[in-house]
Structure 1
Amino acid sequence: MAPRVVIVGSANMDLVGLSARLPLPGETVLGDDFMMTPGGKGANQAIAAARAGGQTVFLGAIGSDAFGVTINARLTAAGVDASGVRTSYGSSGVAVIMVDRSGENSIVVAPGANSSFTGLTESERRAIAEADVLVCQLEIPVETVTEAMRAARAAGTRTILNAAPARSLPPELLDNVDLLVVNEIEAATISGRSDIDMPALLALVPRVVLTLSGSGSRYADRSGTDAVVPAFPVEVLDTTAAGDAFTGALSVAWGEGRPLVEAVRWANAAGAACVRHVGASNALPTRDEIDALYASDPGA
């Protein structure tokens, strides 16, 4: 059976501008194109997990505006169970994203309804308890993330924390994390070190995945495993949702019972498949796309 994955996190409307290069402070740059698409790390990872083959439930908050209606419809159309999503009076979260022709991006997020997502209900706790894997990020109040992680640990549900955007984390949150997914900036922020120190991270959580952009990923755990998992070479068009594709696919692979090094390699394939397209939720790959790229890895 497909693993049951619950994503607790943010949902935004992404306003994406494409241009030859990113503007400097105070500069105006004429763009190439514009698109509007549902996003947010939580919603993106929910769609990514659903497309990767997971039975996916999304728990979060949207606004009472037209953006909220569109976000909810997009989640449902992607096969995500969005029946438990809250509606908060006011605006939905919005992300303003600039992407240059090399695929690099710059993002500003206005949280909107995401800030109202506090205090888990009994039905939300039940959904977490029934899951194989819980995934959280840091675009909603950290108190809610901590509460969700604590509920998962009490129920025996595996937990993944994608600690983005970068911030220091309270010990009561880290105590309930089974697997931490971070990039180099986030790893430095959490460990309090300027260099990448896996032992320092493993002193906080039992398992760590460090994403290395075009260089692949690194997985380490307290049993002594420390492996660099190579990237899949692809043409890069937009890196915006690559991390979300990676995390969503990783949650499915781990829920299926794959060894974590192999789960990370499959997640690398998902991230690589994602960057070949423009627009966050539109770029998130299907299971067939991930499998096809995964099979091409010379390091398999």
Structure 2
Amino acid sequence: MPRVLVAGSFNVDHVWTAARLPRPGETLAGRYATGPGGKGFNQAVAARRAGADTSFLCALGADAGGELARALARTDGIDLREAPSAAPTGTAGIYLDEAGNNSIVIGAGANAHLSAEFVTAQADAFADAAVVLVQLESPAPAILAALRRARAAGSLAMLNPAPANAEVGAELLASSDIVTPNETEFAGLLERRVGRAPPDAGAGTLPDAQLHALCRELLPHGTVVLTLGGAGCFVSHAEDRRRGDEAACYRAAAAPARVVDTTGAGDAFNGALAASLALRPEAPFTTHVGFATRYAGASTEREGAAAAMPHLAP
């Protein structure tokens, strides 16, 4: 079975839901829930529930949060490979309004201790991986090591440059075949890596030709998938690497959904895209994007992050 390898973060999510998000200095009454999260774990669960065998490289503490990660990985059949840490397992505080909008604060904890040495040592996991997916809630050296290992093993190297405030070095982009920013992350990448001022009204409002040109500046050799929330996504390929698509750039509409919680929608998209690429490498890229948008839409119809990932195969 084709395998997806995800390297990244695990968090215990603490979620407060109120009618609206609190303003600075304001106290609101609401509801509380807790559950598993972290971009890495969310994406690993999505990839597994989308049908791909999945390995997950992370760092965990010797605490209840770490035990939760191990138990959930066993339940979903995820090959969990953990770097032990003296720090507590990562946490996230999530504030959610009734429209499904959220604000998030993360405490890295053990996630900050995922090392390049640990990642590099997992040679057998990389050897079996068709797609390697990473994000930026873990230290950059570990993430770069994963991308380089992917390239060395002949795997597809996929970077989700999230969260938006993370530093994305030139080496990370150069080592990636596919990059999947949202609009905020894309604006930051343009400003820091290309020296372009972000569009005032959001990148998604730009004409396709102009947006495609910006993507080519950002990642000349690969594919950029710009996720646009309810507006779907924009795909931009290098001219000589269209991944089976007829067009070098195009938009894909979002799937209809009865939105309850958007917290893990981006992670659902990335995990499902990785799974589809691994399971059907011969299919055109537009097929994989279509599945990922449907999967992400389905994930918003339930509360939670990792727990909301649907069992839905391409």
1:202 Cα deviation after fit: 2.2
Work out which of the residue numbers 160, 163, 168 in structure 2 matches 1:162.
Answer: 160
Q: CA deviation at 1:34?
A: 1.5
| 2-structure distance, mates of 1:64, 1:15 | 19
Q: Which residue number in structure 2 is paired with residue 294 of structure 1?
A: none
1:90 aligned partner: 87
Q: 8 Å contact 1:181–1:211 — kept in the other structure?
A: yes
Contact 2:189 2:218 in 1 (8 A): no
Q: Helix, strand or coil for the counterpart of 1:58? A: strand
Q: In structure 2, how many angstroms separate the alpha carbons of the residues matched to 1:165 and 1:129?
A: 28
**Contact residue 238 and residue 279 of structure 1 kept, 8 A:** yes
State the 1:130 CA deviation: 2.4
Letter in 1 for 2:153: A
Counterpart for residue 226 of structure 2: 210
Deviations 1:46-84 (Å, cap 9, x if unpaired)? 0000000000000011111111111221122122111x2
Q: CA deviation at 1:261?
A: 1.2
1:1-300 correspondence runs (5 A): 2-31=1-30, 33-82=31-80, 84-121=81-118, 122-166=120-164, 167-192=166-191, 193-195=197-199, 196=203, 197-205=211-219, 206-223=222-239, 225-255=248-278, 256-257=280-281, 258-287=283-312
SS at match of 2:129: coil
**Farther-moved stretch of structure 1 (170-179 vs 5-14):** 170-179
Q: Distance in 1 between matches of 2:116 and 2:229?
A: 34
Q: Give the Å deviation of 1:119.
A: 2.3
Distance 2:264 2:175 in 1: 26
Instruction: Quote the Cα distance in structure 1 between the aligned partners of 2:75 and 2:121.
Output: 22
Compute the TM-score of the two structures, normalised by the length of structure 2.
Answer: 0.88
The offset of 1:168, in angstroms, is 3.9
The aligned amino acid for 1:279 is G
How many residue pairs are counted as aligned between the two chains? 286
- 1:237-285 Cα offsets, whole Å, 9 max, x none, are 0000001111000001111212111111100001100000001112101
Conserved 8 A contact 1:47-1:79: no
**3-state SS of paired residue (1:15):** strand
CA distance in 2, matches of 1:203, 1:158: 21
| Offset, 1:151 | 1.3
Decide whether the 8 Å contact of 1:65 with 1:90 is kept in 2.
no
Give the equivalent residue in structure 1 for 2:207.
none
> Segments of 4+ in structure 1 off by > 3 A?
none
**SS of equivalent residue, structure 1 residue 85:** strand
The amino acid of 1:126's aligned partner reads D
Q: C-alpha displacement at 1:204, in angstroms?
A: 3.5
Task: State the distance in 1 between where 2:98 and 2:237 align.
Answer: 37
TM-aligned CA deviation for residue 3 of structure 1 = 2.0
Find the aligned partners of 2:177 and 2:251 in 1 and give their Cα distance.
20
Distance, in Å, in 2 between the alignment partners of 1:231 and 1:13 is: 29
Unaligned runs of 5+ in 2: 192-196, 204-210, 240-246
Q: Percent identity?
A: 39
TM normalised by structure 1 equals: 0.92
Please give the per-residue CA displacement for 1:207-245, whole angstroms capped at 9, x wherever unaligned. Answer: 010111011111110125111101112111000000111
Do the aligned residues in 2 keep the contact of 1:120 with 1:148 (CA within 8 Å)?
A: no
Counterpart amino acid of residue 159 in structure 2: L
Question: RMSD value over aligned CA atoms?
Answer: 1.4
Deviation of residue 90 (structure 1)? 2.5
